[in-house]
A and B are shown apart, each in its own frame.
Chain A
Amino acid sequence: MTDRGGGSAPAGQPVLRIRDLVVEFDTPDGVVRAVDGVSYDVAAGETLGVVGESGCGKTVTVLAVLGLLPRRSARVVRGEALLGGMDLLRLPPRRLRAVRGKRVAMVFQNPMTSLHPALTVRHQIAEALRAHDRGLPRHAARRRAVELLDAVGVADAARRARGYPHQWSGGMRQRAMIAMAIANEPDLLIADEPTTALDVTIQAQVLDLLREVRGRTGAATILITHDLGVIAEMADRVVVVYAGRVVETGDVHTIFHAPRHPYTLGLLAALPRLDTDRQSLAAIPGQPPDLVRRPSGCAFHPRCGLHRGRNRCVAQSPDLATVGPGHRAACHYADELAAETARAAGMSAAEPGDGPGAPA
Chain B
Amino acid sequence: MTGRYVGRRLLQVLPTVAGIVLVGFLLIHLAPGGPIIALAGDSGDEEYYAFMTAKFGLDRPLPEQLATYAGNVLRGDLGVSYIQGRPAIDVIAERLPATLLLAGTALVGSSVAGVALGAWAAARAHSIRDLAVTSAALVLYAAPVFWLGQLALLTLALRTGLFPVQGMTTAGGPETGLAWALDVARHLALPALVLASQEVAAVARLTRAGVLEELAADHVRTALAKGLSDRRVLVRHALRRALLPVVTVIGSRPGHLLAGTIVVEVVFGWPGLSRLLLTSVQTRDTPILLGIFLLVAATVVLANLVTDLVYGWLDPRIRYR
Chain A residues within CB distance 8 Å of chain B: 66, 68, 70, 72, 93, 97-102, 105-106, 108, 110, 113-119, 127-128, 131-132, 164, 166, 177, 180
Note all chain B residues with C-beta closer than 8 A to A128: 226-227
Pairwise interchain contact B218-A100, C-beta atoms closer than 8 A: no
Residues of B within 8 A of A131 (CB): 226-228
B217 interface residue, CB < 8 Å from A? yes
Chain A residues positioned under 8 Å from B228 (CB to CB): 97, 101, 127, 131
Of A72, A100, A119, which one neighbours B224 at CB under 8 angstroms? A100
A102 to B222, CA, bound (A): 13
B316 at the A/B interface (Cβ < 8 Å)? yes
User: In the assembled complex, which residues on chain B have CB atoms less than 8 Å from the CB atom of A117?
Assistant: 219, 241, 315-317
Which residue of A101, A119, A166 is within 8 Å of B227 (Cβ)? A101
> A117-B241, A118-B316 given as contacts; is B222 within 8 A of A99 (CB)?
no
Q: Give the docked Cα–Cα distance between A98 and B227 (Å).
A: 6
Please measure, in the bound complex, the distance between the C-alpha atom of A177 and the C-alpha atom of B222, giving whole angstroms.
Answer: 9
Contacts from B to A (Cβ < 8 Å): 125-126, 216-219, 221-230, 236-237, 240-241, 314-317
CA distance A301 to B126 in the complex (A): 40
Cα A172 to Cα B229 in complex, Å, equals 27
Query: Cβ of A116 and Cβ of B237 under 8 Å apart?
Result: yes
Report how far A70 CA is from B126 CA in the complex, Å. Answer: 13
Residues of B within 8 A of A97 (CB): 227-229
Select the residue from A93, A118, A127, A128 with max chain B CB neighbours within 10 A.
A118
Residues of B within 8 A of A66 (CB): 225
20 CB < 8 A contacts A-B: A68-B224, A68-B225, A70-B216, A72-B126, A97-B227, A99-B227, A101-B225, A101-B228, A105-B225, A108-B218, A113-B218, A116-B223, A116-B237, A116-B240, A117-B317, A118-B314, A118-B317, A119-B237, A127-B223, A128-B226
Which chain A residues lie closer than 8 Å to B216 at the CB level? 70
Residues of B close to A118: CB separation below 8 A: 240-241, 314-317
| Further 17 A-B residue pairs, CB within 8 A, beyond A68-B224, A131-B226 | A70-B216, A72-B125, A98-B227, A99-B227, A100-B224, A101-B226, A101-B227, A101-B228, A105-B225, A113-B217, A115-B222, A116-B223, A116-B240, A117-B316, A118-B241, A119-B237, A127-B223
Which chain B positions have C-beta within 8 A of A127? 223, 226, 228
Partner pick for A106 among B225, B236, B240, B315, CB 8 A cutoff: B225
Q: How far is the CB of B187 from chain A (nearest CB, A)?
A: 41
Measured CA separation A98–B229 after assembly (Å): 10
* A114-B316 in contact given A72-B125, A99-B227, A127-B228 (Cβ < 8 Å): no
- Chain B residue, CB-CB nearest to A117: B317
Q: Chain A residues with Cβ under 8 A from B316's Cβ?
A: 117-118, 164
Report the separation of the CA atoms of residues A3 and B188 in the bound assembly, to the nearest whole angstrom: 55
Complex contacts, A68 vs chain B, CB 8 Å: 221, 224-225
Question: CA A106 – CA B240 in complex, angstroms?
Answer: 23
With a cutoff of 8 Å between Cβ atoms, the chain A residues found around residue B314 in the complex are 118
Contact residues in A for B237 (Cβ distance below 8 Å): 116, 119
Partner among A108, A164, A166 whose Cβ is within 8 Å of the Cβ of B222: A108
Most chain A beta-carbon neighbours within 10 Å: one of B126, B236, B316: B316
Contact B224 A114 (CB under 8 A): no
Contact B221 A114, beta carbon cutoff 8 Å: yes
For residue B313, which residue of chain A has the nearest CB? Answer: A118
Give A113 to B216 CA distance when docked, in angstroms.
11
Determine the distance from Cα of A197 to Cα of B66 in the docked complex, in whole angstroms. Answer: 64
Q: Which residues of B contact A105 (CB under 8 A)?
A: 225-226
Q: Is the CB of A108 within 8 A of B221?
A: yes
| Top 5 A-B residue pairs of the complex, sorted by shortest distance between their CB atoms | A101-B227, A101-B226, A100-B227, A113-B218, A128-B226
B168 to chain A, nearest CB (A): 41
Q: Give complex CA distance A99, B314 in Å.
A: 31
A101-B225 Cα distance, complex, nearest whole Å = 6
Please give, as numbers and ranges, the residues of chain A lying within 8 Å of B229 by CB-CB distance. Answer: 97
Cα–Cα, bound, A119→B229 (Å): 17
Select from chain A the residue with minimum beta-carbon distance to B314: A118
What residues of B have a CB within 8 angstroms of the CB of A110 in the complex? 218
Query: Which residues of A are found within 8 Å of B219, using beta-carbon distances?
Result: 113-117
Instruction: Provide the residues of chain B in CB contact with A70, threshold 8 Å.
Output: 216
Q: Which of B216, B228, B230, B241 has the most CB of A within 10 A?
A: B228
CA distance A127 to B229 in the complex (A): 11
Output the least CB separation between B2 and chain A (Å).
16
Q: Which residue of B lies closest to A180 (CB)?
A: B226
Taking the closest CB of chain A, its distance from the CB of B195, in whole angstroms, is 32
> Chain A nearest CB: distance from B308 CB in Å?
16
**Which chain B residues border A132 with CB–CB below 8 Å?**
227
Are B226 and A166 touching (Cβ within 8 A)? no
In the bound complex, how far is the Cα of B125 from the Cα of A72, in angstroms? 9
Are A100's CB and B222's CB within 8 A?
A: no
Q: CA–CA, A327 to B240, complex, Å?
A: 49
Contacts of A98 in B (CB 8 A): 227
Of all chain B residues, which has the CB nearest A113?
B218
User: Using Cβ atoms and an 8 Å threshold, which residues of chain B touch A101?
Assistant: 225-228
